[in-house]
Structure 1
Amino acid sequence: MDNQMSFIEKQFPVSKVSKESYKERKANNGQTLTGLGKWWGRKPLILVRAAILGCLMPCSDNPKADMDIFLKILSMDNDGLIDRKQKSLSAKELYEIAQGNKHFRQFLNEWFEVDGAKVKIRNGQDKNDIEMRLFKTLGYDDKLKYCVRPEQLETLRKDSWNAINHHLGTSAKSLNELVEQLSMQRYGRLITVGDCFSGGGSIPFEAARIGAKAYGSDLNPIAGLLTWANIHILGSNDDEVIEMKSFQEKIFNSVNAEMSKLGIEHNENGDRALSYLYCVEAKCPECGIKVPLAPSWLIGKGTKTVAILSKNGNRYDISIKMAASSKEMQIASEGTITSKGLVCPNCSMTTPISILRGDRVDQNSNTVSGLRQWEKSDFDFLEDDIYNERLYAIKYETKDGQRYYRAPNERDLANELNVKQIVSENIVSWQEQGLVPSMAIESGYNTDQVIRERGWTHWNHLFNARQLLIGKTLLSAVEKEKNTKNKVVGLLGINKCVDWNSKLCIWNAGIGNEKLQNTFTTQALNTLFNYGCRSSAAIDTTWFYAINQNQTYKNSLVEITDARDVNTISDFWITDPPYADAVNYHELSEYFLAWDKRLLQEIFPQWYTDSKRILAVKGDNHFSHTMIDIYSNLTNHMPDDGMQVVMFTHSDPAVWAQLALIMWKSGLRVTAAWNIATETESGGLKDGNYVKGTVLLVLRKQTGDDMAFLDEINADIRAEVRRQIASMLELENKEEPNFTDPDFVLAAYAASLKVLTSYKTIEDLDLDYELNLAINNPAQSSIVKIIEAAKKIAYDCVIPLEFESYLWKDLSNAEKFYIKGLESEKHGNYQISTYQEFARGFNIGGYGQMMASEKANTARLKTPVEMAGRTISEVPDFENSLLRTVFMGIYTGIKEDENPSRALGYIKNELPNYWDKRDMIKQLLSFIKDTKDIDNMTPHWEQSATMADLLHSLVTNDSI
């Protein structure tokens, strides 16, 4: 084994790790860590596992065998997928698979009985045997639908361990043993995996779970809490988990009993409230009437519940109606607040929000809100404030479980007054004791919104009286606990409850979904004109959460500290740093910190309870220098043969150049890069031109003092790009491709950075000056130009599988652009960003004339019929190309009675050197005719592809 190079530096199962990451993300609340609490942007655990094992596993001189073994370790090989298969396939699904597979169609009558739409397995046939034979024929994506995630498979089969141990020289029977043995082989000790931006804790948790020693640190105490909990709460034994669940039950029951005793959640019939709906009110400046504000008055689409406004003097009464008519539902869907402002139901005038709030512009041209700034102990609007708030609906549950909505009556309003009285009398002492928030809201990108839009100046202002009372009662009960783990379980429960019970919680009126959403449905603090509030009886769904038990390496360390001050040595640093346009974690986490201060101090006396905003990595002018300080520190705290993996989500060459220069100046050199698709729709990303991948940049320490001149290394970069892509193509699986075009482009970026960063200095390059250029004027940066050039080389190397390489070289850039675009469509990719990338890679401008559509997810090229005889003037290289002549031939043949002879006649007439070009014409026609057999292409390509097929036969059989 060559211990100098790790598996991840040579190859990586990009496609399979992407698919597994996507499956994990789609599990939403079924993910292992998300149940413990909110964090913005955890990386998939399978991605972390693959990265750590990829760094640990050495390369042999047999790359194919290395890949097979790596997939076995991750249970991503065929045997692993069979062992992970948990869901059964129905007889109908099996029938459809057999019907679609030419090798199994012969068994349809033998295996299945079909009666109309009903399908069943014939008597005497073994369903399990049929199912396994057919399951093995499925593609990776289809197999995954029936499989548990790799982390949910308890152990690999004996045959897999035999193969792994034989290849790696180990004797492991579990992943933990394998990690330990590979660690000893390589370092003579168990490896430490570190992450100084631990956030939601994916990296330290996964490291500890697979048996490595984990080090996790973060500047933020909430991140520290989650990371500690991942390792110690989820890593608890059976008895501890039973005790923690019993503790959750005890606290919930005690809070529930206390609220019941106060009598503030029951009505005159003894029914218990579950949800309260509140709305903001404001006077219409035009007519002076007080208007309740909501974007919609729909309360429940399933129960057909609506709020109905009726004028009563200078204000509106609000009645609640269940089983409303479709007309009433339609009326209720129109609210009194729109994006344009308050829409008065009395005078029909619209008042912009800024006018309503009385906003003005100060002498520095800053907008100043006209709202009253709330005092520290406030929890409600005052009578003469611009905004007021009112309770307009309550969802009740009867003793026998029936649920209904009603408008608040006198008893409900008396309960409401009682709650406000309790909070009013106690809030100052509660704040002094740390039982409800008292922290001021610091000005910031996200936090300015609540100050500007409501006048809220302290974190307690984001919670109404009921929410403050429930939060305080929970905190008081948890505080009495002595057991550290129980206390942490309680603190995480409080955080979940306050996320799901604040004035920023949207009421969802959807069918089967009439309930509150959480505060952080987005990465922002969005104020609402109407919101939902839970009663103490309804916090059960957030207070009780899954403790997904996992064995973890407990001798792991979690700290809260500035990444520049980390002083723990890690063999592998795996980091997902905040980037230039990152989420403002430091601001958003203060929402939780305002509640957690007291308990955090008691549980972790050595920790601070401040978000340390001033030290947070921000996307400002200091960003690159902060990052250099951090990564220089990590480089100093790793052994000479240690490794780093930096995860980031950008595909802009200028950003790559910045990152490369940061790493270079930190004493690191790039050895590889891989692009993993990790984002799902639920991650807040839409399809289209959005970054959906996470780049893994693999780095080692710079150990040499080599120096070079810029013009000397250009040849080295070209050679390295070609070598890198050739090695990836060699490993490519034609049936289940592992790499896409963006992967090859990223490999080219990495190859160029690998050459650049292998030198200590480049004689005619000032790194500080280059970094400044890459940030402020990328077009002038030598490094950006080098990376752009590498991309062009990559596109020259990535030849469609159906194309002869000697013919590909003779195509113009415009023809290559079209063919690569068509290849992408064959694979079902209709994203405009793909064409934009190809246009940059092949240096094509004005390609719009070649496109049938340029919309985000329906982008596609024109077919020969759609191009017809129009001139493609903006792309002369295409207009004058052989491909365009072939297209005109196809179009001519179709137009003239579907006659392929007319098509061939046109081409021969246009090309005096037809015989010299015959091989290329056959190649182009062959590439086009295949489109008729691809489902997603048939609708628009069938006519052109059929003519191309006929024309291909004529050209093939044409003789002099």
Structure 2
Amino acid sequence: MYPIKSPKKLIETSLPLDAINEAAAREKSIRHGHPSTLHLWWARRPLAAARAVIFAQMVNDPGYERHLGRGVNKDKAHLERERLFEILRKLVQWENTNNEDVLEQAREEIRKSWRETCALNKGHPQAAELFNPDKLPAFHDPFAGGGALPLEAQRLGLESYASDLNPVAVLINKAMIEIPPKFAGRPPIGPEIAVDKGTKKQATRDAFEEWSGAKGLAEDVRRYGAWMREEAFKRIGHLYPQVDLPKEHGGGKATVIAWLWARTVKSPNPAFSHVDVPLVSTFVLSSKAGKEVYVEPIIEGDSYRFEVRTGKPSPSAAAGTTAGKRAAFICLLSKSPIDYNYIRAEGKAGRMGQKLLVIVAEGAKGRVYLPPCEPHASILEQVQPDWIPNLNLPNNPRDFKTPNYGMNKFGDLFTTRQLVALTTFSDLVQEARLKAIVDAKRAGMTDDKIGVDEAGLGATAYGDALAVYLNMAVSKLSDSSNTIVTWKPSMVQAIHMFTKQAIPMTWDFVEPNIFGNAMGDYFVTLSNMMRVLKNEISVRVGATVLQQDAATQKISINKVVSTDPPYYDNIGYADLSDFFYVWLRRALRPVYPNLFATMAVPKDEELVATPYRHGSKEKAEKFFLDGMTEAMHRLAEQAHPAFPTTIYYAFKQSDTTDIGTGNTGWETFLEAVIKAGFSISGTWPMRTELANRMIGSGTNALASSIVLVCRKRAADAPTISRRDFLRELKEELAEAVDVMIGGAEGISPVAPVDLAQAVIGPGMAIFSKYTAVLEADGKAMTVHSALMLINRMLTEGGDTFDADTQFCLGWFDEQGWSAGDFGKADVLARAKGTSVKGVHEAGVVESGSGKVRLLRPSEYPSDWTPANDNRVPIWEACHHLIRVLSQTGETSAGVLLAHCHEKVEPIRQLAYRLYTLCERKKWADDARAYNELIISWPAIVAASHESETGYSGLQAGLDL
């Protein structure tokens, strides 16, 4: 077989992780205009991370010629790598998402690397097919999900292909990357609608000097969306009456923002069994300082009513009618307990109702809270929807709680008024589509009568495209128009249902006004969505989106692949997305008949280890492993051979076990990747949570996801014995760890909190390049065993440290800061080439009464100077630095480090190793100390270089 010359890519050597992680974490707080606001999808990867990974996956590492057996100038490679890092640092910034200067610089680097690769393979028999220097390879993501990766590939200039089994994911991707380029640069054709009663919130005109990109498409969606809202108000506006304001609030009529309801059950007390008593989690409406508002229940015999009060609520008001987690609720009238078993029985018997708690209206000076009144209190009983989504909720007790209370169908999650509103808007989508087709023809657009599903570009396809966005707004609106929506007193606003990847049970819920010009209003929802379409969507390159099973697809052939597959059992995408599917299918089946052919989202082939679906945990794990192996095998065989494949894996939780950091899903996923024929050449921790959550209480939070960098394993890869594997691991892993913590010039260091995950890369690179690692009995080593050995190498290394430090490491691993028997300490000290007396004289242990204890940094003497100490183990210097850093800061620590200049690198290596050890043992406070030293290391080193006053400066600082 003719070999392909594939230069190592930047992602296979180094990344500016700090910059990528910082940008990814910051992106979590950005909402307006972010593509995630187009439609909800679970566990999206940050755009910054996706953009950085694809760029680094396609750009040649400056030292690649060395990997091809050629000489290379290291200084030149270092400077070139830093130049690429600088491009990456700019590229990941949110402000540069659509900065054409920055993007074009990145695109040119991709094209340059591609031309270099093509030149290296000029004589290859498949050069015409695989290495056309004038055309970049296309991109494919076979688990497209929310579409972040295909979108960023398109932004970087690649023809993008996205596929997914889930039709909701397919539609989201079509809306983001496939439809906009088809209609780019066209002016809007819809008639402008006059501003309603002078309020600017209803304006449909959003004029631009030019209609580049998808701006015209976005404006038309707004115009037809405004028409839909106006038509809907004519039909159902009477279901959303205004409310009379009392004189103290200015009098007159006011628009209702939301109605707050409480679920009710019959009182379990026989004396009040005819009364529907409320189940209320809290009576507090606003907890903002100085603006506190709450509801007070007024009991009158065997009835009750609600009044609104201002001022700080009592503890009983804050608790509502709850009685603790186990006791559930109490009867408002009789004070009898109402346990969950009773509530479940009432719900399943169809006797659960709702009672209006309060009306929230828009007053002249802000929010006004009003007690229930007619017709608002009884309006739900007078409404009957023409259509109800009667699809059954899944029997998935982990993620779906409402079936426990008799709410078994998706239609049960809505009030009658919400169902009428959503079906009305759903019906209007097709009316708006037909209206748009007529208007497009009138504006001069030709019509081939071919729909957007069949690659049409005329008036019919344009009407279809508008219908997609108009109905996605209905689907998105359902997330904030259901009875799982809650009221948050600290924010005085409604909170949509999907705050987590589950449908919980709620007791008091919010019904936003669908015409209220606030959260829950159709046009507000649509307008926010269109910020994405007009500002953030790339239309430079076309895209194709298909519904395909990743285990059988053939789209990846000769394409660059980066993908974000399901994470074992973390999220049941198919079950959850049925909530949206019922509304999308209702209006868009005529547009995409094949995509919405089934009654529900396909589930049997979904690669999620769901025990309830497969009958047991073991069967679910086997299904996941077999299916993911097949999907990964497709990628290993089909992906373009000149590029590594990048695969994301998100950790559900951190488990500290004998293999360090990991979980069953992680091991199973790695096994699938390796079994499929991939060799893992790198693992990069991508941190997408806020920095202050890096270390939590009692445990250390991990990077949100790991990016695996994979190459197809050679067909003739040999086997290796366990002994030889350990020898190779010991030789190469130590060097790899040194590089990761900053031991190599031009390599961005990995933070200590991420080291245990990052080191999996070089470790698994050794393991996975062989067909098998054979144990002594001839059986193949498991991924679990390999991970255990890699972690052991990381935590038990340290041959380069002095004997005293090696003893301290071992004793710390066994005892922590606690005292241990002298006899055990003596044996360990002799084994490490030192003595208990020696480490005591070094000033790092306390020894007496048959016990030995390591001194904490706070116990070290404050007048210590290395110049006057003739025995300074690395351990001692490291912990003195921790003491000084915590007491007087980075500058003083830098002064101290200047006097330990020969120990700089070993001190940092020890801090990393101790952090890893503490993580494994769940010693969070100690881990934090070592992590803070590493995080501050650049500033400490800089301060050490600037130090001119010597150790006297440190003393002065300490005296302060």
TM-score, with length taken from structure 1: 0.70
Shift of the 354–936 alpha-carbon distance from structure 1 to 2, 3 Å rule, reads farther
Distance 2:104 2:167 in 1: 43
Alignment of 1:37-186 (within 5 A): 37-59=39-61, 60-61=64-65, 69=80, 72=83, 75-76=86-87, 148-156=94-102
Shift of 1:602: 2.0
Distance 2:591 2:773 in 1: 51
- Contact in 2 for aligned 1:815/1:881 (Cα 8 Å): no
- Contact in 1 for aligned 2:261/2:509 (Cα 8 Å): yes
Shift of the 731–892 alpha-carbon distance from structure 1 to 2, 3 Å rule, reads closer
Alignment of 1:648 with 2:649, yes or no, is yes
Alignment of 1:275 with 2:258, yes or no, is yes
Alignment of 1:526 with 2:512, yes or no, is no
Deviation sequence 1:489-538 (CA, Å, 0-9, x none):
1122112211112100111111xx21100001122111111011111222
User: 2:586 maps to which residue?
Assistant: 598
Aligned amino acid, residue 58 of structure 1: N
Distance 1:554 1:896 in 2: 63
User: 2:14 maps to which residue?
Assistant: 11
- 1:25 corresponds, among 23, 28, 48, to 28
User: 2:216 maps to which residue?
Assistant: 239
- 1:472 corresponds, among 398, 423, 447, to 423
Shift of 1:270: 3.7
Alignment of 1:397 with 2:362, yes or no, is yes
Aligned amino acid, residue 646 of structure 2: V
Shift of 1:170: 8.3
Shift of 1:76: 5.0
Which ranges in structure 2 are unaligned for 5 or more consecutive residues?
66-71, 118-128, 185-212, 246-251, 434-462, 610-619, 652-660, 830-834, 847-854, 904-949, 952-960
Deviation sequence 1:244-267 (CA, Å, 0-9, x none):
222232223332343335564555
Distance 2:663 2:730 in 1: 17
Aligned amino acid, residue 402 of structure 2: V
Distance 2:726 2:471 in 1: 56
Deviation sequence 1:770-808 (CA, Å, 0-9, x none):
6xxxxxxxxxx65433332233333466x7xxxxx85x1
- 1:670 corresponds, among 680, 689, 711, to 680
- 1:886 corresponds, among 842, 855, 858, to 842
Alignment of 1:440 with 2:392, yes or no, is yes
Alignment of 1:587-736 (within 5 A): 587-608=575-596, 609=598, 610-619=600-609, 620-621=620-621, 622-650=623-651, 651-652=661-662, 657-680=667-690, 688-711=699-722, 712-728=724-740, 732=744
Alignment of 1:486 with 2:466, yes or no, is yes
- 1:456 corresponds, among 392, 395, 407, to 407
Shift of the 750–304 alpha-carbon distance from structure 1 to 2, 3 Å rule, reads closer
- Contact in 2 for aligned 1:72/1:164 (Cα 8 Å): no
Aligned amino acid, residue 383 of structure 2: I
- Contact in 1 for aligned 2:264/2:278 (Cα 8 Å): yes
Shift of the 936–258 alpha-carbon distance from structure 1 to 2, 3 Å rule, reads farther
- Contact in 2 for aligned 1:20/1:149 (Cα 8 Å): no
State which drifts further: 34-43 or 277-286.
277-286
Alignment of 1:921 with 2:872, yes or no, is yes
Alignment of 1:156-305 (within 5 A): 156=102, 189-232=135-178, 236=184, 237=213, 238-261=215-238, 264-265=241-242, 269-286=252-269, 288-289=271-272, 290=275, 291-302=277-288, 303-305=291-293
Distance 1:576 1:892 in 2: 44
Q: Percent identity?
A: 16
Shift of the 936–786 alpha-carbon distance from structure 1 to 2, 3 Å rule, reads farther
Deviation sequence 1:543-596 (CA, Å, 0-9, x none):
421223332355321112221121212522212221223111111111111211
Shift of the 297–753 alpha-carbon distance from structure 1 to 2, 3 Å rule, reads same
Shift of 1:287: 5.8
- Contact in 2 for aligned 1:717/1:755 (Cα 8 Å): yes
Shift of 1:817: 6.9
Deviation sequence 1:740-774 (CA, Å, 0-9, x none):
2355444542223222322234566999x86xxxx
Distance 2:254 2:110 in 1: 62
- 1:336 corresponds, among 318, 321, 338, to 321
Shift of the 683–42 alpha-carbon distance from structure 1 to 2, 3 Å rule, reads farther
Shift of 1:353: 1.4
Distance 1:640 1:165 in 2: 17
Aligned amino acid, residue 531 of structure 1: F
Secondary structure of 2:604's match?
helix
Which ranges in structure 1 are unaligned for 5 or more consecutive residues?
85-143, 172-182, 359-369, 374-380, 771-780, 800-804, 819-838, 851-866, 908-917, 955-960
- Contact in 2 for aligned 1:309/1:317 (Cα 8 Å): yes
Shift of 1:31: 6.2
Aligned amino acid, residue 285 of structure 1: P
State which drifts further: 714-723 or 625-634.
714-723
Deviation sequence 1:715-741 (CA, Å, 0-9, x none):
23333323433544566579x962123
User: 2:458 maps to which residue?
Assistant: none
Deviation sequence 1:359-394 (CA, Å, 0-9, x none):
xxxxxxxxxxx6436xxxxxxx5xxx1x22111211
Shift of 1:456: 1.2
Aligned amino acid, residue 348 of structure 2: R
Distance 2:823 2:271 in 1: 62
- Contact in 1 for aligned 2:625/2:672 (Cα 8 Å): yes
Shift of 1:660: 3.4
- Contact in 1 for aligned 2:571/2:608 (Cα 8 Å): no
Shift of the 515–684 alpha-carbon distance from structure 1 to 2, 3 Å rule, reads farther
User: 1:311 maps to which residue?
Assistant: 299
State which drifts further: 335-344 or 514-523.
335-344
- Contact in 2 for aligned 1:931/1:937 (Cα 8 Å): no
User: 1:582 maps to which residue?
Assistant: 570
Aligned amino acid, residue 293 of structure 1: L
Distance 1:602 1:583 in 2: 30
Shift of the 937–766 alpha-carbon distance from structure 1 to 2, 3 Å rule, reads farther
Shift of the 408–190 alpha-carbon distance from structure 1 to 2, 3 Å rule, reads same
Alignment of 1:338-357 (within 5 A): 338-340=324-326, 341-357=328-344
Alignment of 1:371-382 (within 5 A): 371-372=347-348
Secondary structure of 2:295's match?
strand
Distance 1:675 1:499 in 2: 32
Secondary structure of 2:749's match?
coil
TM-score, with length taken from structure 2: 0.70
Shift of the 692–757 alpha-carbon distance from structure 1 to 2, 3 Å rule, reads closer
- Contact in 1 for aligned 2:233/2:515 (Cα 8 Å): yes
Distance 1:881 1:226 in 2: 68
- Contact in 2 for aligned 1:276/1:391 (Cα 8 Å): yes
Distance 2:857 2:142 in 1: 65
